Structure 1
């Protein structure tokens, strides 16, 4: 497999006029893309960027971000993409923590040392100083991806070129991508899923990518009909918004071969609602930034098992361990651990946290799960989300699954609320399908029909929508804070 840094050159040599990458503003052919990358590399080099340096990019989803990423790799530098929605103080933490040599913004921010227009639209006359491609070593840093920071300040996940290459090969093989594939990117490019699944993998497979702007459910299927992608990757919250569209929305989805769900487990009921309405199979996977994106996948060719996150990707070992680190057999519940060439190099500047997370080569995910009789992984919950009620362990996901089975429920999240006697008790936060009705008392009664008394939520709070973090997951820390204060 070619080195990822070579991709612009290889594509341009193979078919210079074929489509490569597009966004809401322009489309680049392979030769155009190479020229942009070479010009951007010349500007970065003139700004003092070289091998081992870090380039921070504070941009919304646009093709210039991909151009800059490849330009940095061409020089042997790493890239840390920064969520453009962060405050200056939050962004500065990532920029300073990663020791970024250059910061690229769109001119609206004061953080930048270079404006995106000066980098990504450099003239080809500047290319000669960056004409020679130096392939970074496999163990040199490619990406520093910052976690969403739900347990404190965000940590920089160090991914080297070997990690990224291995992950792309697994995604290409697992999804069966080839030169006819066309991804529509809707997830943020500051997250590894957006970079690996929707940009690098299709481009390496010989396909192409269209970068959508800010996601809006009401305009999304118009973009699908216009671009005619073969797939997109999204999070459960996006699928929930799409199934909530008015009944008269009946888009042409015939170009889509499959759609992908990651970042958080997708309820089986939501998968069924999406597939029944839009006639496109949902392929659910599971992984972490620390594992370069994905570790399991429901095979697109089947059998897909909703309610599971699929089979381990070839090239990785996924196991379930007890608290002492002993492997457990099928059906036993324990912590999900991962081993393979996709496991991160570590957390930047945090050796103690790295040593606690990667033990004897095993990435400890913090997720609780079990393997079913067919070897499919079933996620039970996050270890840190577990509620301890009067000494009894309660996994919120079990309660959430019951709530999702109610026909009126679109989204559900269960968190622990403090209790002076029991320590913690479960509280449910629910969003209903548009046009549906259900009272908190009805939903509590619904839970009583399927759950032991101790697992039944002490209260159900119905809201128009549930808060999301920057990656699109339901923001449980915010819900916990709300539950503590009410």
Structure 2
């Protein structure tokens, strides 16, 4: 059985009274964290949750989310983190698809998918000294089911094992030279694997600590940095854009470096942020299917602005042509990745798994090129995914929701440039003849079907959608309407 270095019950022996985890309500040492994990693990075990089960956790960022996560692992169960802002239909779909046996949430009004639930305030906090876990999770066991949308618009569960997470966490510790002196300020949502790996597992594996902040705001961020003295944080370009726009900046001298991922950041914004805060910001790249990160510029060493850096330790990145054949350095093609970080597969979707992971290579659907030093530059996306402030939005999901309105004949959703969020969704809709539906009516129709970040900022009702020569909707043509050069 593989050694998993981030398990709380093992770290408590090594780190004991060292600070581990805090949020606005709690401050826990490694021993106290492990005790809270054991208390909730016993509670889960008593109601029949065990190895091979899936627990859904639908909570905002707070210490109890990480306690519940680790408690499920304590008894060999897996976890699917659910976006706490999801509508009932979105949450119910994930809970049902993951076959979760239980939901941990904020209370009786939260979605449960018809499953039993434990409210966060009802989580046990005091361990029973007589309780012993039967079987804890091993390296081959499923650890996380992280849901990500695809070209069909139906979210699918990415199966990540503890071996995947251990490999990634060790890689993060090595790449960022993390030690017990490091302290991560966690500001990204914990329903993403980025926050789980970079901001939680990596620092505790190194013996460091993390502080979980509440809802992000620039004022809160600078106050937390000055008060808590973290050494690093991970964020998305939107957050950096908001931070550099502030008139006053607090004391950021404790920060050793910061990470930027989830969406491309402009060189101009990167330079402004580094100069404003006096720290190194490293840009990285990865997918949920690759357990978070596959390339990253080093905090110490050669950084190449405009690239997302070289492959992380233990991973190989290649560029291939349409036939899957590797191409020389400097040639544009599809980015493929190989390593112990590659997912087990998509839950219940073997055909999609086979299309995505071919002979051990993860096909990303992204277009890029490698230079002679192995630094990766992303050129474009094969897929039509929109990245709004670091959140992945898949047009097909919005198009499917629009299609549920009786007056909608067809639609196309594209990403339009935005100064703060990077991209925002914009919809073009063709209605059935002799209908009088308005964009306001369609916007209202989407409100109960989609999370707020997925709602189009504009809905244009048009007579027809542009088509390419083979009859497919010309989304590149629609996107070109929103480029600055196309604005008269």
* TM-score w.r.t. length of structure 1: 0.80
Aligned counterpart, 2:118? 114
SS across alignment from 2:302: coil
Rounded Cα–Cα distance in structure 2 between residues aligned with 1:412 and 1:137 = 40
For the 8 Å contact 1:43–1:122, the answer to whether it is kept is: no
**Cα deviation 1:55-101 (Å, max 9, x = unaligned):** 11010000101111111111010011000000111101111101111
For the 8 Å contact 2:6–2:166, the answer to whether it is kept is: no
For the 8 Å contact 1:81–1:145, the answer to whether it is kept is: yes
The answer on 1:376 being equivalent to 2:375 is: yes
Change (3 A) 1:415 1:187: closer
SS across alignment from 2:7: helix
Rounded Cα–Cα distance in structure 1 between residues aligned with 2:187 and 2:54 = 25
Note the residue ranges of structure 1 that are not aligned, 5 or more in a row: 387-402, 431-439, 445-457, 461-486
For the 8 Å contact 1:186–1:233, the answer to whether it is kept is: yes
For the 8 Å contact 1:412–1:428, the answer to whether it is kept is: no
Q: Size of the alignment, in residue pairs?
A: 411
SS across alignment from 2:330: coil
Aligned counterpart, 2:105? 105
Aligned counterpart, 1:139? 140
Rounded Cα–Cα distance in structure 2 between residues aligned with 1:258 and 1:429 = 38
Change (3 A) 1:412 1:44: closer
SS across alignment from 2:477: strand
For the 8 Å contact 2:75–2:133, the answer to whether it is kept is: no
For the 8 Å contact 2:5–2:205, the answer to whether it is kept is: no
Rounded Cα–Cα distance in structure 1 between residues aligned with 2:208 and 2:6 = 16
For the 8 Å contact 2:2–2:139, the answer to whether it is kept is: no
SS across alignment from 2:104: strand
Aligned counterpart, 1:459? 487
Please say which of residues 7-16 and 326-335 is displaced more in the overlay: 7-16
Aligned counterpart, 2:457? none
Note the C-alpha offset of 1:110. Answer: 4.7
Rounded Cα–Cα distance in structure 1 between residues aligned with 2:245 and 2:151 = 28
The answer on 1:26 being equivalent to 2:54 is: no
Note the C-alpha offset of 1:374. Answer: 2.3
Aligned counterpart, 1:170? 171
Please say which of residues 325-334 and 371-380 is displaced more in the overlay: 371-380
- What do you get for the CA RMSD once the two structures are aligned? 2.4
Rounded Cα–Cα distance in structure 2 between residues aligned with 1:285 and 1:338 = 14
Rounded Cα–Cα distance in structure 2 between residues aligned with 1:5 and 1:100 = 26
For the 8 Å contact 2:183–2:209, the answer to whether it is kept is: yes
Note the residue ranges of structure 2 that are not aligned, 5 or more in a row: 386-416, 429-464
Note the C-alpha offset of 1:185. Answer: 0.5
Change (3 A) 1:429 1:210: farther
Note the C-alpha offset of 1:217. Answer: 2.1
SS across alignment from 1:375: coil
SS across alignment from 1:210: strand
For the 8 Å contact 1:413–1:429, the answer to whether it is kept is: no
For the 8 Å contact 1:414–1:427, the answer to whether it is kept is: no
Please say which of residues 417-426 and 180-189 is displaced more in the overlay: 417-426
Rounded Cα–Cα distance in structure 2 between residues aligned with 1:148 and 1:215 = 25
* TM-score w.r.t. length of structure 2: 0.79
